[in-house]
Structure 1
Amino acid sequence: MVFDHLAHEALAERHTLILDHYEARKKQADGALKDAVPYKPVPPDLLYLSPENLIASLGPREAIDFTAFDAPDAGAKKVFRAGSRHGRSFVEERADPNANVFDVVVKHISDERAGRRRVIVAGWTEGSLDRLGQILVEHHLGNLKPVATLAEAERLEPGQAALAVLPLESGFETEKLVVVAEQDILGDRLIRRSKRKKRASDFIAEASALSSGDIVVHADHGIGRFIGLRTIEAVGAPHDCLEIHYAGDDRLFLPVENIELLSRYGSDSAEATLDKLGGGAWQSRKARLKKRLLDMAGQLIRIAAERQMRAAPALVPAEGLYGEFAARFPYEETDDQQTAIDSVMDDLGAGKPMDRLICGDVGFGKTEVALRAAFIGAMEGFQVAIVVPTTLLSRQHFKTFSQRFSGLPIRVAQASRLVGAKELAETKKGIAEGQIDIVVGTHALLGSSISFKNLGLLIIDEEQHFGVKHKERLKDLKTDVHVLTLSATPIPRTLQLALTGVRELSLIATPPVDRLAVRTFISPFDPLVIRETLLRERYRGGHSFYVVPRISDLAEIHDFLRESVPELKVAVAHGQMPPGELDDIMNAFYDGQYDVLLSTTIVESGLDIPTANTLIVHRADMFGLSQLYQLRGRVGRSKVRAYALFTLPANRKLTDTAERRLKVLQSLDTLGAGFQLASHDLDIRGAGNLLGEEQSGHIKEVGFELYQQMLEEAVAEVKDSGEVQDGGWSPQIAVGTAVMIPESYVPDLQLRLALYRRLGDLENTEEIDAFGAELIDRFGPLPEEVEHLLKIVFIKALCRKANVEKLDAGPKGVVIHFRKREFPNPVGLVKLIGEQGSLAKIRPDQSVVFSRDWATPEKRLAGSAVVMTQLARLVEKAA
């Protein structure tokens, strides 16, 4: 066994810690709190060896130090010099648009092999290495042997090349060995992070997977009940299908590659009535709804068009002054942030009312976008109003705006209940007379007693917290002014307006440099864990939030904290306190006079305290998904790793919704997940009313997911943008081969269904390759049936592009049926058939036959892909 540096000290320290934990558990009060976990600790000597016993059992040992420099200890018995250095990184070739990096890599590897050095190409995972190996083989690099370890690689013959899975971010070279890392070839895109980000969005697809008994909607056949996966024989080969039951015990078996025709009905499935398979009721209902949706889309577009027709002041910044103001921003803008700023500046200068939603995680720089927009508006002589949901956020924004605008001829004021009556009266007067340029406030700004002399820009922060009346007042204000909305998790209705293209949307999904994701833990309520968590934060010089769902919980938790962590100073805050008292507490906490802020969800919106890096939420099951996400965003706003602990009652079963909500939140621990979370919320809750009550009736007719898709299509159709998505069809492909994810490969039924659901959304080669690589990483080498399934999905994507409704491939060739008997490039098709001679012909029913000799399923799959690629290229030429 090899001991690392200071291993013995670490062992002794660990043993002491174990003993301390045991003593603390023993002393824990029997009935600390009703939600606490009952513990009966096991004595450490029954679980662990003592350091002395461990070392005695290991016998003689040797400590080895690893260093990048010369041996620091001149008297060391043995010094081993590895003699390695950094390898080639191919940076210049990647940056050159005219260079092919793979050709350069292949030449480099060939040269090294010619010099009798062994070469290893290192991939991050099995999947990515598999893809990389295929690309290198395509670029004529042969004889690549897979190896499992560096030791195995060193046994290679000199001049041989190999592939290995190694967690390297850059390559290296020794006298006899050259290692080229995946990132050297593909770029410095930190594979681990991109993989985690991908998994976050994939999790939402997997979390919304179908379960047996779910009410589903088939685009062609209507509402049915999903029963489960069935493997049936199709053209002599096993094929996975989804079994759906309809009224009258009718059954439909849908091939898994066409799963995108299915959507979940939504949250009100108990009220759904099953359709009759083959009956006309569904099609007529769908047609009626499409007509109504076109009317609604027309109304939405009309509202947006009327807004565009109105004139609004064109606000263009003075170059020198704006540059100076932007230079006051102490950080470097992220790419997303700069794009959002540019979009806002373009909107402001267009002479039409801006209506833009900036969606970005807490702390990702939305406020900076607002500051720059406010600067442009105020310097052009117009008033700017920033409306926020809470007094705390108002105070914080007021402070931020005052600091950034100090020294400029711009007057910033605040209007909220934290401002005294006399000062508020002066502020109102200043707004009415135009003496105040920028005002930050709560819904007090929306009161009828406030009138603006020359309002040019309205900035709304965290609009999901405003009530209906306040939103109506906002509508009145918004008629001919520029509007900028900021939100981390927008309300579903707002998000739907943005996704359907009615509102402009800017996403800031890139975290600031050095920002770390918040570590999220979910556990039963445990006094000892809470004590350790709070003390650990205190000892590293930070502060903690402790959030409870109800005001009535504050007293109990306050007593618990006084008893469990008497070393810490605890402040209590809630929204029903007198404004002055609340402000004093928040100021004191901000200034570091308290270690813990115990509060209700008053800290949910926008509060920015960089030293607060631990959050504990009591009874997390009582909060909504968006609320929990916002709360978690209150910590982790500096370069220090932050922690969020969501506690649950120890002896109560969670509802399914609460459990699912917490699972989603724990999985979305990447930075920038707020937009995905809002999309998930939209999926669970529905969008609310876009224009009125009747919308919910429409959703009941076809289910939420299909309704959303139909609305997007209707909006695109009314816009006449040429992007109408005819989404209600899916190509049928038969090649007489096994198409499935075998149970032996992915045993979990729910997970198989989730993977099929994700498969239905894949649209191009890159996505299909990445999905295949992920399967290899998660479940091992792909079985033949899965390889065939991925090829079928690729052919299906080509079929959609070429308007092919059905493809039948057999030993003698392939028959292709076009949807509605139409092909977008008929002249090109006739020419292609003419070039084929007797090997291709058009039938009377307008289908096309290509005669081929395809004896095996592999030949049929490869040949069908070639034919469909030709047809897809013809369509591209016609466009």
Structure 2
Amino acid sequence: FKFQSMTRFYGKLDLLVDEISRLKRKKYRIAILSGNSARGKQLVHALQEKKIMASFTEKVVDEIVPGQVIVMPGTLEQGFEVPEIGFAIISDVEVYGRPSKHKPRQKSPIRGKKITSHQQLRAGDYVVHITHGIGKYLGVKSLEVGGCIKDYFTISYQGGDKLYVPTDQVDLIQKYIVSGGARPKLNKLGGNDWNKAKSKVQQSVKEMAEELIKLYAARESVKGFSFSKDTPWQKEFEDMFPYEETPDQLVAINDVKKDMESERPMDRLLCGDVGYGKTEVALRGAFKAVMDSKQVAVLVPTTILAEQHYHTFSERFSSFPVRVEVISRFKSVSEQKKIITDLKTGQIDIIIGTHRLLQKDVKFKDLGFLIIDEEQRFGVSHKEKIKRLKKNVDVLTLTATPIPRTLHMAMSGVRDMSIIETPPEDRFPIQTYVVEHNESLIRDAIIRELSRGGQVYYVYNRVETILEEMHKLQKLVPEARMAVAHGQMNEDELEDVMLGFYDHKFDVLVCTTIIETGLDIPNVNTLIITSADKLGLAQLYQLRGRVGRSSRQAFAYLTYRRDKVLSEAAEKRLSAIREFTEFGAGFKIALKDLEIRGAGNLLGAEQHGHMMTVGYDLYCKLLSQAVKELKGEKEEPEVQPVIELNVSAYISDEYIEDMSQKMEIYRRIAAVSSLEEAADLEEEVEDRFGDIPEATRNLINISRLKVLAKKLNISSIIQQGDMFICKFARDDSKTLEMLARFSAAFQKQITIMGTSTPAFTLKTRGLKGYRLLTRLEKILGEMESMQETYSVV
């Protein structure tokens, strides 16, 4: 039998009812697990109110008749359906969602965190060590040093030299990431090549930062138009927005308004996934401009996008005396002439158009606000014309290419950016299946979408035989209206097909990956990709982002040829895309390739080359340092305590077998930043993997010592026999004062050392392992309490 996994309903009864109705129409026998009896009875009542006849039973029944729905107590990790025998079981996890075991920690603003992709670091990946350069990661190796076992990350360099990095120094290594996954040249351990390359990039980055700061300063000195504060009409306009704004959206809206009300011309970049609400931010800025009798221009790269924006703007402004027009090839010559005349005389408030807006005959009476959608998709000559149009005008540029947070942080203060990362309310992750190409499954997926009035993208990436494929599909699903779209069609023909699909003249669009960057059609919620194993990860992610733009559950079927043995790389790509179903997965490793494309668009080709030299993460770090230095901001180096104790601290293969899970736990232990976080992590590890062995508990306790050492400004704690040498990071009066206090409070336990850097020794009378770590934590904890008390006084 072939099993298909069950859809998730996230506690939404309507979605569950739709699925049960579909299964009942196919005469399936349906069993639903409800967890406990009380929930089961409530569910039966709720289903009956929705005209679904269901019955509750405490016991497992011998037989379910076709079309019958049985609800019973019980739990299962995942439900499934078996088409051959017409049976489906829906688990409690699918119905109610997974209960959260831990209270969610409030998301703190990201401050250029150390690389978080260690979880995905696999043997054979290239890494960058900040001091030693580019090497090849070989995996985790347990080594015995001085009678204690510890784990080390093993990195191979040119000539086969190996470097062993302690797992608590994970922040010194970063995955080497560049666009397209080019293979870098390995550095020589102890050689000078790496330092030379790093210095060259540092110099170039500094020059670019200087240029950016000059530009920024020049813009600060230019006087533009200062828009008025919000009017009552503005509030009325905003209240008509039918959705709840996301927190990121509200921040972006405030950023834009603040810029518009200031005297200097705005030049803000707004980044966010498609469908995350960038257009609403632009609409509110446009309304504000029109309220001050200024004209608004919306510049887009394609005619289809122009038409789409025209629909959106016209709809949102329909209750106000605002004239919105669109200029594109769909307008006749006489219509275009009239629009140009009306624009010149100020009768048009908002004009939307392609590069047609950049032609010499287009003149504005009083342009005040320019919105540019996906600027990187315009050619060089168009970009020059855009520059002229930008003069003294407030500009908002929208992009769906993710600009990574790290780059955003690095450029804060030289480029105004807002990022929308939170998905809108009522948006579900896309249900993703990786399956063998199967005609009955394809037919079923298309019919399921059509039955709820939706549309389907069917991606077939071979232009030569695409028409043949459409005819095959037409025979399989004769009730569906189909059309073909690919890059070798002429522009007018392609746009006509896309607009026809947008207006729901077709149900299924058989197309190549041309839809990767295209229209936002909320009605398309099923995507079928043939030969998905041949596509890159970033491409698969982009394609999947074409669906799931409404409050409906969306489905993506990534299919590969029947009986085909997938290569290891293809299997990895497909399993990765299936794993990244959560929102914002775009900022995980799956999108690193795109992020770098985004970085290239933002910084230009030369800097992209430098990024290739040192890897993406280190590049961002160097850029951030250069910007802060040039702005005169002194950055106190963060203390990263080194702790070397004679205790075994590692995660054994017996405790956590899976390498990627082990990597994730190492990364999270290394990133612990508070004692509460360490306690939460310890509890979670015990929940997931069982009783914690002493060596792993030691690892977590060392992370607690690091947290306390950091607070006390201690740079290292090194064990020598029964004695511990603790050195401070700074030699200043405050440190010496605290040291004197500690000495007075812990008379017999600590001795001040007469070294150039303030330090003290600590004795613990022969304690070992877990008891030693607990004692150290107690002493450092008392010191930290003393420090807090004195700093308050």
TM-score under structure 1 length normalisation: 0.71
Structure 1 residue 735 corresponds to structure 2 residue 645? yes
Cα 1:295–1:573, aligned 2, differ >3 Å: closer, same or farther? closer
Deviation at 1:842, TM superposition (A): 2.3
Deviation at 1:452, TM superposition (A): 3.7
Cα 1:670–1:691, aligned 2, differ >3 Å: closer, same or farther? closer
When the two structures are aligned, how many residues end up with a matched partner? 714
- Asked whether the 8 Å contact 1:462–1:490 carries over to 2, the reply is no
Give the structure 2 partner of residue 830 of structure 1: 740
- Asked whether the 8 Å contact 1:294–1:714 carries over to 2, the reply is yes
Structure 1 residue 843 corresponds to structure 2 residue 756? no
Give the structure 1 partner of residue 188 of structure 2: 275
Q: What is the rounded CA distance, in whole Å, between the counterparts of 2:570 and 2:227 in structure 1?
A: 47
**Of 189, 206, 213, the match for 1:301:** 213
Cα 1:297–1:337, aligned 2, differ >3 Å: closer, same or farther? same
Give the structure 2 partner of residue 513 of structure 1: 425
Cα 1:690–1:506, aligned 2, differ >3 Å: closer, same or farther? closer
Deviation at 1:399, TM superposition (A): 0.9
Alignment of 1:35-54 (within 5 A): none
Deviation at 1:283, TM superposition (A): 4.4
Cα 1:685–1:608, aligned 2, differ >3 Å: closer, same or farther? closer
**Of 133, 149, 157, the match for 1:238:** 149
Q: What is the rounded CA distance, in whole Å, between the counterparts of 1:207 and 1:230 in structure 2?
A: 17
AA matched with 2:329: R
Give the structure 2 partner of residue 218 of structure 1: 129
Cα 1:606–1:700, aligned 2, differ >3 Å: closer, same or farther? closer
- Asked whether the 8 Å contact 1:266–1:704 carries over to 2, the reply is yes
Deviation at 1:742, TM superposition (A): 0.6
**Of 288, 292, 303, the match for 1:391:** 303
**Of 758, 775, 793, the match for 1:863:** 775
For structure 2, list consecutive stretches of 5 or more residues without a partner in the other structure.
1-19, 31-36, 49-55, 59-76, 78-92
AA matched with 1:829: L
Give the structure 2 partner of residue 569 of structure 1: 481
Q: What is the rounded CA distance, in whole Å, between the counterparts of 2:784 and 2:705 in structure 1?
A: 10
**Of 776, 784, 803, the match for 2:686:** 776
- Asked whether the 8 Å contact 1:713–1:725 carries over to 2, the reply is no
SS at match of 2:747: helix
Q: What is the rounded CA distance, in whole Å, between the counterparts of 1:878 and 1:718 in structure 2?
A: 32
Cα 1:607–1:295, aligned 2, differ >3 Å: closer, same or farther? closer
- Asked whether the 8 Å contact 1:237–1:736 carries over to 2, the reply is yes
Structure 1 residue 359 corresponds to structure 2 residue 257? no
Cα 1:477–1:872, aligned 2, differ >3 Å: closer, same or farther? farther
- Asked whether the 8 Å contact 2:530–2:560 carries over to 1, the reply is yes
SS at match of 1:645: strand
SS at match of 1:687: helix
Structure 1 residue 687 corresponds to structure 2 residue 599? yes
Give the structure 1 partner of residue 321 of structure 2: 409
Give the structure 2 partner of residue 228 of structure 1: 139
Structure 1 residue 440 corresponds to structure 2 residue 352? yes
Cα 1:515–1:799, aligned 2, differ >3 Å: closer, same or farther? same
- Asked whether the 8 Å contact 2:403–2:598 carries over to 1, the reply is no
C-alpha RMSD of matched pairs (Å):
4.3
Q: What is the rounded CA distance, in whole Å, between the counterparts of 1:657 and 1:69 in structure 2?
A: 44
- Asked whether the 8 Å contact 1:307–1:352 carries over to 2, the reply is yes
Give the structure 1 partner of residue 715 of structure 2: 805
- Asked whether the 8 Å contact 2:501–2:509 carries over to 1, the reply is yes
- Asked whether the 8 Å contact 1:229–1:240 carries over to 2, the reply is yes
Alignment of 1:650-665 (within 5 A): 650=562, 659-665=571-577
Cα 1:655–1:636, aligned 2, differ >3 Å: closer, same or farther? same
Deviation at 1:544, TM superposition (A): 1.7
Deviation at 1:744, TM superposition (A): 0.6
SS at match of 2:312: helix
Cα 1:710–1:769, aligned 2, differ >3 Å: closer, same or farther? farther
Deviation at 1:419, TM superposition (A): 2.7
Cα 1:518–1:862, aligned 2, differ >3 Å: closer, same or farther? same
AA matched with 2:301: P
SS at match of 1:688: helix
Structure 1 residue 748 corresponds to structure 2 residue 658? yes
AA matched with 1:327: D
Give the structure 2 partner of residue 26 of structure 1: none
Describe the superposition over 1:415-444 as per-residue Cα deviations: whole angstroms up to 9, x where unpaired.
223333332233333334433221112233
Structure 1 residue 330 corresponds to structure 2 residue 210? no
SS at match of 1:67: helix
Give the structure 2 partner of residue 633 of structure 1: 545
- Asked whether the 8 Å contact 1:610–1:635 carries over to 2, the reply is yes
Q: What is the rounded CA distance, in whole Å, between the counterparts of 1:240 and 1:747 in structure 2?
A: 14
Cα 1:71–1:777, aligned 2, differ >3 Å: closer, same or farther? closer
- Asked whether the 8 Å contact 1:464–1:491 carries over to 2, the reply is no
Deviation at 1:515, TM superposition (A): 2.3
AA matched with 1:840: I
Give the structure 2 partner of residue 159 of structure 1: none
Cα 1:853–1:498, aligned 2, differ >3 Å: closer, same or farther? closer
SS at match of 1:782: coil
**Of 439, 456, 466, the match for 1:554:** 466
AA matched with 2:306: S
Describe the superposition over 1:536-584 as per-residue Cα deviations: whole angstroms up to 9, x where unpaired.
1112332222234454453122112112111211133456657776566
Q: What is the rounded CA distance, in whole Å, between the counterparts of 2:326 and 2:117 in structure 1?
A: 44
TM-score under structure 2 length normalisation: 0.78
Describe the superposition over 1:560-616 as per-residue Cα deviations: whole angstroms up to 9, x where unpaired.
211211121113345665777656645554454432233345544463433332122
Give the structure 1 partner of residue 83 of structure 2: none
Cα 1:730–1:663, aligned 2, differ >3 Å: closer, same or farther? farther
Identity %: 37
- Asked whether the 8 Å contact 1:217–1:264 carries over to 2, the reply is yes
Describe the superposition over 1:81-100 as per-residue Cα deviations: whole angstroms up to 9, x where unpaired.
xxxxxxxxxxxxxxxxxxxx
Give the structure 2 partner of residue 261 of structure 1: 172
Deviation at 1:751, TM superposition (A): 4.1
Deviation at 1:261, TM superposition (A): 0.7
Cα 1:665–1:251, aligned 2, differ >3 Å: closer, same or farther? closer
Cα 1:655–1:688, aligned 2, differ >3 Å: closer, same or farther? farther
Deviation at 1:323, TM superposition (A): 1.1
AA matched with 2:396: L
Deviation at 1:677, TM superposition (A): 6.5
AA matched with 2:389: L
Q: What is the rounded CA distance, in whole Å, between the counterparts of 1:825 and 1:449 in structure 2?
A: 70
Structure of higher CA gyration radius: 1
Alignment of 1:482-521 (within 5 A): 482-490=394-402, 496-497=407-408, 499-501=410-412, 502-521=414-433
Give the structure 2 partner of residue 704 of structure 1: 616
Q: What is the rounded CA distance, in whole Å, between the counterparts of 1:332 and 1:593 in structure 2?
A: 31
**Of 504, 529, 545, the match for 2:457:** 545
Deviation at 1:653, TM superposition (A): 6.2
**Of 718, 724, 731, the match for 1:814:** 724
Structure 1 residue 535 corresponds to structure 2 residue 447? yes
Deviation at 1:825, TM superposition (A): 3.7
Give the structure 2 partner of residue 620 of structure 1: 532
Cα 1:802–1:582, aligned 2, differ >3 Å: closer, same or farther? same
AA matched with 1:666: R
Deviation at 1:743, TM superposition (A): 0.7
Deviation at 1:376, TM superposition (A): 0.5
Q: What is the rounded CA distance, in whole Å, between the counterparts of 1:203 and 1:289 in structure 2?
A: 20
- Asked whether the 8 Å contact 2:718–2:726 carries over to 1, the reply is yes
